[in-house]
């Protein structure tokens, strides 16, 4: 019996050893190449996903991006689009009050993109990059994460941060105070600057950085510029920001030339994935005509308020018809009334008084039609969509790479006989050199930081004009006219600057001067909704915003509702009671903006 046990034990040991040898011989085959370990991950691929999450729209998956853009089928929007509608750049055509203009579910996409794409990618990428000595990658990830954190606070207020992205460890993260998230983001920018200043070998540089081609110095400049804008947004609630802004200006490493602009660039490629500008896809992508409505207030500022047409107008806006009231596509009054019902109604009695209440040619605020060619929508006009897709004013050459308006009087589209413009290789102007000069002008005027506000204002306007006038060359588009009366020229650019300088000199108060700075910033920010939205809540400027078309629109949206994806699946989340909940840096009165 004892011998039998020894034999059995020997056999078992032999089998165990044989299995161990067998297992060891196949250990190298147990690494699934389709599921690499984090240590084996390519940091360049993480960087690619991170940067694309900020600016692209994947139509195949019906997902959008964080910053801006539409999915042509799902009509998904980004943070800039919502903000542009609230500030009358694009028309707000949903809801008849601010409370019901946007549903919580409208914000799901940008929220999920921030938390599941940008933050998770950055959180995974940063330690890997640091371990491999790829400090530029790590620095870029920190800059982009910090920008996203700041922007989330700007539009939502308090948000999850310290407990976010913990998976099953913390499935219901609590919201941090907006001021605390701002402080964390500013600290992260300082850390990013330190990372980007580290020496890196040639093999450690990014190979696919779509913003600055892996140039660490450019990312440092961007990080410092984001700090400038962040401090300025805090100026009402933090007395220490003046010295911090002064230090940044004195250091002189901010975005102050077009070559340093922080822009997301698109291409003309129209097959899956369609990498054209989302606003181009949505409006020019088929022969159905324009989908978006431009804001009448914005167009009125461009075309009428100063008494002459802003030379950037034909670059910004394309008119599908030059006289909507006498167009053969609206052959009779019945058709005209169906397409443009507001033209046959009285000027709203709750609008500011105007010297010409005949629905064209206003002195105080526009109503219905800016002039016979510029057809958009009034603020909070939600009366549906008329048969005007081939008549509406739409996106022009800048920044969506649509068409330059040379009086073609032709509808947009892709077929023969339609106008297709520059084919969509436009940009998202996330931060431009002109924005830096506007920010410095505001700081100099209100905080006494270095620089003359009037001179900075002139630099800002010139930077904007130069960006727009050079855009055709930038995207490889041949302008359809050489008529200098339609183009930006040195002469009309200088005339415009002279007009604004005269307005500034004649302004008799700091508030009036600030209004001029903010209005010019607003006009230069075309294609960027978030900066005007921040400026409007911080300064109340421009101070002659078109009222809502409805007489009682309720409280202006001081911050967005929390997304449905957040409040419905997080037991620690509570939806806001209304649209009047302010972010931490907005301490202005409840009725400050409308």
What does the pLDDT read at residue 31? 56
CA atoms within 13 A on the CB side of 464: 30
Q: φ and ψ at 324, to 5 degrees? A: -65, -20
C-beta of residue 137 within 8 angstroms of C-beta of residue 43: yes
What does the pLDDT read at residue 7? 44
Instruction: Name, of 72-76, 201-205, 245-249, the range with top average pLDDT.
Output: 245-249
What does the pLDDT read at residue 14? 47
pLDDT band (50, 70, 90) for residue 577: very high
Mean of per-residue pLDDT scores for the chain: 90
Q: For the structural domain made of 270-554, what CATH number should be given? A: 1.20.120.840
What does the pLDDT read at residue 226? 98
What does the pLDDT read at residue 558? 98
What does the pLDDT read at residue 96? 87
Instruction: Name, of 92-96, 204-208, 386-390, 482-486, the range with top average pLDDT.
Output: 482-486
Structurally, at CATH architecture level, domain 40-49+102-254+559-594 sits in Alpha Horseshoe (1.25)
Q: Which of 143-157, 276-290, 440-454 has the lowest mean pLDDT?
A: 276-290
C-beta of residue 385 within 8 angstroms of C-beta of residue 395: no
Which tokens in the block code for residue 438? 């506007």
Tell me, rounded to whole angstroms, the distance of Cα 53 from its chain centroid: 13
Closest CA to 164 of 116, 130, 129: 116
401 has a pLDDT exceeding 90: yes
Question: Would the CA dihedral through 538, 539, 545, 548 be positive or negative?
Answer: positive
Residues contacting 453, CB < 8 A, separation 6+:
441, 442, 444, 445, 513, 517
pLDDT band (50, 70, 90) for residue 383: confident
414 has a pLDDT exceeding 60: yes
What does the pLDDT read at residue 39? 60
pLDDT band (50, 70, 90) for residue 274: confident
CA distance 131 to 46: 15
C-beta of residue 380 within 8 angstroms of C-beta of residue 101: yes
State the burial class of residue 501 (Cβ atoms within 10 Å of its Cβ: 0-12, 13-18, 19+).
middle
The residue assigned the tokens 């972010």 is: 583
pLDDT band (50, 70, 90) for residue 76: low
Taking the C-alpha atoms of 440, 114, 265 and 379 in order, what is their torsion angle to the nearest 10 degrees?
-70
CA distance 32 to 271: 32
Q: What ranges do the domains of the chain cover? A: 40-49+102-254+559-594, 270-554
CA distance 192 to 89: 34
CA distance 152 to 159: 7
What does the pLDDT read at residue 445? 98
What does the pLDDT read at residue 40? 61
Q: Which of 117-121, 273-277, 407-411, 461-465 has the lowest mean pLDDT?
A: 273-277
Taking the C-alpha atoms of 528, 532, 534 and 540 in order, what is their torsion angle to the nearest 10 degrees?
-170
Average pLDDT on 433-454 reads: 98
What DSSP state is assigned to residue 70?
A: -
C-beta of residue 449 within 8 angstroms of C-beta of residue 242: yes
Q: What is the pTM of this model?
A: 0.92
Q: Where are the beta strands (DSSP E) in 283-405?
A: 317-319, 393-395
Q: What is the pLDDT of residues 217-232, one digit of tens each?
A: 999 999 999 999 999 9
Residues contacting 590, CB < 8 A, separation 6+:
555, 580
Q: What is the pLDDT of residues 14-46, one digit of tens each?
A: 444 444 444 454 444 455 554 446 566 789 999
The residue assigned the tokens 């830096």 is: 436
Radius of gyration from C-alpha coordinates of the chain: 27
Q: Where are the beta strands (DSSP E) in 168-296?
A: 175-176, 262-265
| Helix axes 135-156 and 178-196, enclosed angle (nearest 10) | 160
Average pLDDT on 266-286 reads: 91
173 vs 54, residue with greater confidence: 173
CA distance 213 to 68: 22
CA distance 376 to 304: 15
C-beta of residue 373 within 8 angstroms of C-beta of residue 319: yes
The residue assigned the tokens 């016979």 is: 372
Closest CA to 87 of 583, 539, 530: 530
What DSSP state is assigned to residue 348?
A: P
pLDDT band (50, 70, 90) for residue 93: very high
What does the pLDDT read at residue 10? 47
Average pLDDT on 452-472 reads: 98
Q: What is the pLDDT of residues 285-339, one digit of tens each?
A: 999 999 999 999 999 999 999 999 999 999 999 999 999 888 888 888 888 888 8
What does the pLDDT read at residue 184? 98
What does the pLDDT read at residue 363? 80
């Amino acid at each position: 019996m004892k011998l039998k046990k020894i034999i059995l034990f020997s056999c078992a040991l032999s089998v165990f050893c044989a299995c161990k040898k067998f297992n060891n011989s196949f250990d190298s085959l147990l690494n699934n190449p389709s599921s690499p370990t984090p240590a084996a991950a390519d940091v360049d691929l993480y960087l690619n996903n991170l940067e694309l999450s900020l600016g692209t729209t994947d139509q195949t998956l019906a997902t959008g991006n964080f910053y801006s853009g539409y999915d042509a089928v799902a009509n998904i929007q980004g943070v800039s689009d919502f903000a542009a509608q609230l500030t009358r750049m694009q028309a707000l055509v949903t809801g008849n009050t601010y409370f019901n203009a946007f549903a919580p579910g409208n914000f799901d996409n940008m929220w999920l993109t921030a938390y599941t794409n940008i933050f998770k990618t950055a959180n995974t990428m940063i330690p890997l990059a640091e371990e491999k000595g790829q400090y530029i990658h790590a620095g870029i990830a920190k800059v982009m994460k910090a920008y996203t954190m700041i922007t989330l606070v700007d539009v939502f207020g308090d948000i999850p941060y310290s407990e976010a992205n913990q998976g099953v460890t913390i499935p219901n993260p609590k919201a941090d105070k907006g001021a605390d998230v701002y402080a964390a983001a500013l600290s992260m920018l300082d850390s990013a600057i330190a990372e980007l200043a580290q020496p890196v070998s040639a093999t450690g540089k990014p190979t696919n950085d779509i913003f600055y081609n892996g140039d660490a110095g450019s990312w440092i400049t961007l990080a410092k510029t984001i700090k400038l804008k962040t401090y300025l947004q805090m100026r009402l609630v933090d007395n220490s920001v003046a010295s911090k802004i002064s230090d940044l200006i004195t250091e002189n490493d901010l975005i102050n030339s077009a070559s340093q602009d922080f822009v997301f660039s698109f291409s003309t490629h129209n097959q899956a994935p369609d990498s054209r500008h989302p606003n181009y896809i949505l409006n020019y992508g088929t022969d159905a005509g324009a989908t978006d409505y431009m804001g009448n207030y914005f167009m009125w500022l461009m075309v009428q308020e100063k008494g002459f047409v802003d030379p950037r107008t034909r670059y910004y806006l394309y008119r599908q018809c030059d006289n909507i009231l006498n167009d053969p596509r609206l052959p009779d009054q019945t058709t005209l009334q169906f397409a443009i019902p507001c033209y046959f109604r009285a000027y709203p009695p709750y609008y500011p008084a105007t010297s010409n209440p005949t629905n064209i040619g206003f002195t105080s605020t526009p109503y219905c039609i800016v002039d016979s060619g510029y057809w958009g929508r009034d603020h909070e006009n939600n009366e549906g969509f008329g048969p005007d897709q081939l008549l509406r004013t739409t996106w022009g050459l800048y920044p969506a790479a649509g068409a330059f308006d040379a009086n073609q009087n032709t509808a947009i589209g892709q077929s023969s006989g339609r106008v297709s413009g520059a084919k969509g290789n436009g940009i998202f102007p996330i931060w431009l050199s002109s924005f830096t000069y506007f920010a410095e002008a505001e700081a100099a005027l209100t905080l006494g930081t270095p620089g003359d506000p009037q001179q900075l204002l002139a630099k800002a306007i010139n930077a904007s004009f130069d960006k727009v006038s050079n855009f055709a060359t930038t995207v490889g588009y041949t302008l359809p006219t050489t008529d200098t009366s339609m183009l930006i020229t040195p002469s009309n650019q200088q005339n415009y600057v002279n007009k604004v300088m005269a307005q500034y000199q004649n302004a008799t108060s700091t508030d009036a001067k600030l209004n001029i700075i903010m209005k010019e910033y607003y006009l230069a920010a075309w294609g960027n909704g978030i900066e005007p939205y921040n400026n409007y809540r911080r300064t109340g400027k421009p101070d002659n915003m078109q009222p809502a078309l409805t007489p009682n629109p309720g409280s202006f949206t001081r911050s967005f509702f929390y997304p449905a994806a957040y409040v419905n699946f997080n037991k620690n989340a509570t939806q806001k009671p209304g649209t009047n909940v302010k972010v931490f840096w907005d301490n202005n009165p409840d009725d400050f903006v409308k």
